[in-house]
Structure 1
Amino acid sequence: MADDERGPRDRSIERADDTLRDVDLTVERALSFIDVHRRSDFAAAYQWFMDHSGTVGSRLYGRGQRLPGVRDDFAHAAQRGIHKPSGSPYALSVTIKSGEMYDADGSMIELPDGDWGLIYAAHRNNKGGETDSQWNESLKNCMRDGLPVGVFADTGKGYLRSLAFVEEYRPSDETFVLHGPVTPETEHLFRSGVHDYLVGEELVELDHRPAQELMRDERTAKVVSMKVREGQGRFRRKLMEAYGGACAVTGVETGCTLQAAHILDYRGAPTNVVENGLLLRSDIHALFDDSLLAVDPRTACIVVADSVPDDVYRRLGGHPLRLPKDRSLWPSDEYLGIKFEKFEHLQRMGGA
């Protein structure tokens, strides 16, 4: 659904989905964006990161050291932070080192299907610590066009190596969200979101599904001239019934402002179940999607990010979530917990 249908979303938050709706993100597709003269170097680097995914070791950085298959004049990493090969608009890798101005880097959110989200601080200059737009723009270009980046994360005993796609940039706290690991076995998971519309998919009946099943990407998005919102309509009707036609956060009962919000991002029909949804007023939905508002699953109370300045929203903090009368229709604590973990990581990065 377009932002103007969703209420006052903070448009400064950028997402891959803003430019990559219904796109299957693959390494093969990414290479088509690389200049033909450097394509083989990028291909060799991507392959190395996939082959070494999850392993700890050297990053082959320094004079005369290169990843196998790349030419001698092709550097693959910076001393720290974002590396953009000369002449390329795209970043190739990020290096996360402990200490100094980068000590907040590397907060990892473990997801139930074996993948993870990584919070990454924006690249900064050596002098003054101000954000360096040249390098950050190269990482944003990867996000906008769907190119992966290699990750070197310092563990103290070597570097954890992996490949990831860039999903989000949040200028309020100058952080990127990376999603990995990208390997031949997991590559099918990385497809851009189609959010609130479906393509001829049916609502799955209410049976509790493990989080890893919901996190799998089972979308059947196709290139069509018009998106059919049939599934989303049923999802909303089920939530309207479950929550008695009132926003789960504010209690507002104005039907035209109420929307069906997914707790875990929409990844096909299996995610379109009431326990993975909340009925929310449009502006609350926008805050929830942006991880500026969340639900603490331990208390079932609302939490609001420190970066939200409006007292109207801040006063919602600490209020209990309005739950359906039928306990079987309550949102899943497991799903709320995954969403809350991302919220907490982003809060820590913002306060670092």
Structure 2
Amino acid sequence: MNDIDLAVPLMDGPSYDRACSLVPSEYVEAWEWFLGEEQRGGVWTSLPHHTKEDSPQYQYRLRIGSDFFPVTRDSGIFWPGQDRVKQDPNKIFALSVHNSKKSFYTDVPPLYLDDGTWVIKYSVQAPGAVGSRDQNYNRKMLNCMECGVPVGVIFATEVGYKVLGLAFVERFEPENGWFVLHGPVHKGGPDPRFAPDMSYLKHMPVDIEFAGQGTTDDEKVRYALRRERLGQQWFRKQLVAAYDGRCAVSDCGVSEALE
């Protein structure tokens, strides 16, 4: 994780058009798919790579040529293997991210800002979470951040998987163990709404979407408090794991009580 500790924020002036010159053509076709699904607005009952022929979403899976092309895999941070896409092994970019309906990761639901963009805090890949293989998942996200390459974002809700579109990896927060994703990214040149300065998170009014339902004032307050308490989410995950999900004093194992 040392390379993450030294990570820098998103470059100045990132844009979709510039990013197209940095990635293989398959990435650009996958980005087109994310843009199309963002506009279509449908909700997937399963992730695209798990969608079967009897599903109404099957027709919307991405094809490149005559073959289906994966935009997701079971791992939350995904990029296509070298058997599908040839790219520099020293600079592989993440293609997409998704969260899980049931996960120990603390991904934060979208915050919708007044300027028409949204922000998601997406958990880094925890050490040892993928067994004995070390595929440098986080390094692929850092490559996107450092070069201004967007990633596709799919967020799980109670009713299914929502394709939010493309986002820049705008910042890494080591104190929380989060990547900050900012979207939606659309075709064109630099958009002044995407910049390394993250102060807007403290000063701009936000709305939060929970599974497509309205958000109460109490929920917004709780989110704001979570946002300000730097480091506590990452610390909490480590603490829960260390004590096997139980209180060290009472031996209580009820997650709501531990929270």
The two structures have a TM-score, normalised by structure 2, of 0.62
Range moving further from structure 2, 158-167 or 46-55: 46-55
Matches within 5 A, 1:263-278: 263-264=199-200
* Structural RMSD (CA): 3.7
1:348 aligns with 2:236: no
1:291-318 Cα shifts (integer Å, max 9, x gaps)? xxxxxxxxxxxxxxxxxxxxxxxxxxxx
Q: Using CA pairs below 8 Å that are at least 6 residues apart, which structure has the higher relative contact order?
A: 2
Q: Distance in 1 between matches of 2:111 and 2:189?
A: 17
Q: Which residue of 2 aligns with 1:219?
A: none
Residue 61 of structure 2 corresponds to residue 61 of structure 1:
no
Cα distance change on mapping 1:156 and 1:82 into 2, 3 Å: same
CA deviations 1:38-92 (Å, max 9, x no partner) are x1x2122111212222734224213887843435374211113100111340010
Counterpart of 1:51 in structure 2 is 36
Give SS of 1:14's match: coil
Q: Does 1:28 align with 2:28?
A: no
Question: What corresponds to 1:255 in structure 2?
Answer: none
Contact 1:169 1:177 in 2 (8 A): yes
Structure 2 alignment gaps of length 5 or more: 53-57, 205-222, 238-259
Larger Rg: 1
For residues 97-123 of structure 1, the C-alpha deviation after alignment (integer angstroms, 9 at most, x for no partner) is 122333x11333332212121111112
Secondary structure of 2:195 counterpart: coil
**Residues 1:16 and 2:9 aligned together:** yes
Give the TM-score of the pair, scaled to structure 1: 0.47
* Partner of residue 211, structure 2: none
State the distance in 1 between where 2:192 and 2:115 align. Answer: 10
Aligned residues with identical type, % of pairs? 26
Q: Which of 166, 170, 174 is the aligned partner of 1:171?
A: 174
Number of aligned positions between the proteins = 196
Q: Tell me the alpha carbon deviations over residues 130-184 of structure 1, each in whole angstroms, 9 at most, x when there is no partner.
A: 9956111111100110000011111121211121110112333321111012235
Contact 1:82 1:93 in 2 (8 A): yes
Q: Which amino acid aligns with 2:28?
A: A
Query: What 5-or-longer segments of structure 1 have no aligned partner?
Result: 1-10, 196-261, 266-274, 277-337
SS in 2 for 1:61: helix
Distance in 1 (CA, whole Å) between partners of 2:104 and 2:226 is: 23
Q: 1:183 aligns with which of 170, 175, 186?
A: 186
